[in-house]
Chain A
């Protein structure tokens, strides 16, 4: 069974440019999450999809970030325009239907974003 995949693995862009990150969850997983780790700090939650709907987007830092999950399969996270403080590692995770909070979230390898 294929795990969570993310593309690209690395991205280096200049301030003001646009970057789009992609996440393919494990097949059949309704839940998809985006997290971010900035500057060696803790991993922070960004948002949660259930199928194609945004269940919780309270962790999104500002309106320069736009996440979509059309059709309830893969998801994209677009940063436009990128700022220096957006640099970090963006993780995607997926899980099956809710089971009271104990279900395992399976993480992808992350996308390392560097904004110069």
Chain B
């Protein structure tokens, strides 16, 4: 079985600053995929960024980047130049050989003006 843990239920950051959301996971499989999804107050959950475990290079999507530490089973999300629209619930997800996504409990991020 796999697990995903997000140890920060809530976080806040000032607009234009950088914030890092933590995520750790556990799986016995060697090939897997990691995801960060965000769910803004409007409720539609969207994919932020994806990382393949076999790739050593950290994924980057504009202001969003990850720090993937495979040995430590850590997958943190860094948001640079935070914007008000980044306010959302962020979910870390893990997918192995099956189809299901396993999620953490989420981190509520608030970006303050």
**A: which residues have CB within 8 A of B?**
3, 31, 33, 35, 40-45, 48, 55-56, 59, 91, 93, 98, 101-102, 104-110
Contact = CB atoms under 8 A, between A and B. Distances in A.
Nearest to A47: B100
Nearest to B105: A42
A65 to B, nearest CB: 16
Contact of B101 (A40, A41, A45): A45
Contact of A41 (B46, B99, B105): B105
B44 interface: yes
Nearest to A95: B99
26 contacts: A3-B44, A33-B99, A35-B103, A40-B105, A42-B4, A42-B106, A43-B106, A44-B103, A45-B100, A45-B102, A48-B99, A56-B99, A59-B100, A91-B45, A98-B99, A101-B32, A101-B33, A101-B95, A101-B98, A101-B99, A102-B33, A102-B52, A105-B47, A107-B45, A107-B46, A109-B43
Interface of B: 4, 31-33, 37, 42-47, 50, 52, 91, 95-106
A98 B45 CA distance: 21
Contacts of A3: 44
B47 A104 contact: yes
B44 A109 contact: yes
Contacts of A104: 47, 50
The list of the 9 closest CB pairs from A to B, nearest first, reads A45-B100, A107-B45, A43-B103, A109-B43, A42-B105, A48-B99, A42-B103, A109-B44, A102-B33
A107 B37 contact: yes
A110 B105 contact: no
A33 B100 contact: yes
Q: For A3, A43, A48, which residue has the most chain B Cβ atoms within 10 angstroms?
A: A43
A44 B44 CA distance: 17
B4 A110 contact: no
